[in-house]
């Protein structure tokens, strides 16, 4: 895999989606059909957390991972059905990267402003804290976990507000609109910085070409 991830955990409240994900994992593991570029790696800072990260591979000059050293997907990738917002599960791991794509709207509509704040705070707490790294150039830098988010716009909320009575009620009570997420994450939750890494994804299905934002702990 491209970034030589030590561990990848997928979480979703829908058990059906988790079953599908596990089925796809078994299929890919059997066929070995992984994208060719997934066997490339690049340099990165050292980390001891259970996470997705890049590592230096010195055995091959072009960065390729020898086939006999490529890890088994079942040893790296796992999925769990869980209501992340309301779960009392005690995570002991810290992660380099947490991704939340096309999810914030549904959490917001189902659990309101309290739910979206809970989501942001839990993600921040699970990310690896800032550590100081020394580069070859002898410059000190701060390195912490990152949160990758694809928030849905308010127009998407409006289109889906009638999917349930709970969503309808929460829609009417929401005060933290999506355009306020960055302010909340930086000023209230505690992320240090934010950036938009893409405004739209070329080739995306209509309605899924939204901006992708990255927040640094």
Distance CA 120, CA 50 (A): 20
Using CA atoms in the order 28, 206, 149, 160, what is the torsion angle rounded to 10 degrees?
-110
Distance CA 168, CA 108 (A): 11
Identify the burial level of 109 via C-beta atoms within 10 angstroms of its C-beta, where 0-12 means exposed, 13-18 middle and 19 or more buried: buried
What are the chain's domains? 1-82 (no CATH), 84-217 (3.40.50.150)
CA 110, 116, 122, 124 torsion-angle sign: positive
On whether the pTM is more than 0.85, the answer is no
Residue 10 vs residues 21, 78, 87, 101: alpha-carbon distances, Å: 9, 6, 15, 12
DSSP E strands, the chain: 8-12, 77-81, 97-101, 131-134, 140-143, 146-150, 193-198, 212-216
- Which pLDDT value is given to residue 93? 86
Give the pairing of strands 131-134 and 97-101: unpaired
Joined tokens for residue 180 = 């306020």
The three-state secondary structure class of 140 is strand
Terminal C-alpha separation, the chain: 25
Number of C-beta neighbours around residue 167 at 10 A: 19
- Which pLDDT value is given to residue 172? 98
Q: Identify any residues that bridge with 134 across adjacent strands, giving them in sequence order.
A: 140
Q: What are the pLDDT tens digits along the chain (217 aa)?
A: 566 788 999 999 999 999 999 999 999 888 765 544 443 433 433 333 334 333 333 333 444 444 545 667 888 999 999 999 999 888 888 999 999 999 999 999 999 999 999 999 999 999 999 876 655 555 556 678 999 999 999 999 999 999 999 999 999 999 999 999 999 999 999 999 999 998 665 655 555 678 899 999 9
């Amino acid at each position: 895999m491209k970034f030589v991830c030590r561990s990848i955990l997928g979480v979703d409240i829908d058990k059906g989606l988790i079953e599908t994900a596990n089925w796809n994992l078994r299929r890919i593991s059997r066929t070995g059909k992984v994208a060719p570029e997934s066997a490339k790696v690049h340099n990165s800072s050292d980390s001891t957390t259970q996470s997705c990260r890049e590592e230096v591979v010195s055995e091959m000059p072009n960065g390729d991972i020898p086939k006999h050293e490529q890890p088994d997907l079942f040893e790296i990738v796992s999925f769990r059905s869980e209501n992340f917002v309301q779960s009392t599960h005690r995570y002991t791991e810290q992660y380099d990267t947490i991704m939340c794509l096309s999810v914030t709207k549904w959490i917001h509509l189902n659990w309101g402003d309290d739910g979206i704040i809970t989501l942001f705070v839990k993600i921040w707490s699970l990310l690896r804290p800032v550590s100081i790294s020394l580069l070859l150039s002898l410059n000190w830098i701060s390195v912490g976990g990152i949160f990758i988010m694809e928030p849905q716009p308010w127009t998407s909320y409006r289109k889906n507000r009638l999917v349930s009575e709970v969503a309808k009620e929460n829609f009417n009570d929401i005060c933290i609109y999506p355009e306020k997420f960055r302010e909340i994450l930086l000023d209230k939750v505690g992320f240090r910085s934010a950036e938009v890494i893409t405004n739209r994804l070329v080739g995306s299905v209509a309605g899924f070409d939204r901006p992708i934002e990255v927040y640094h702990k």
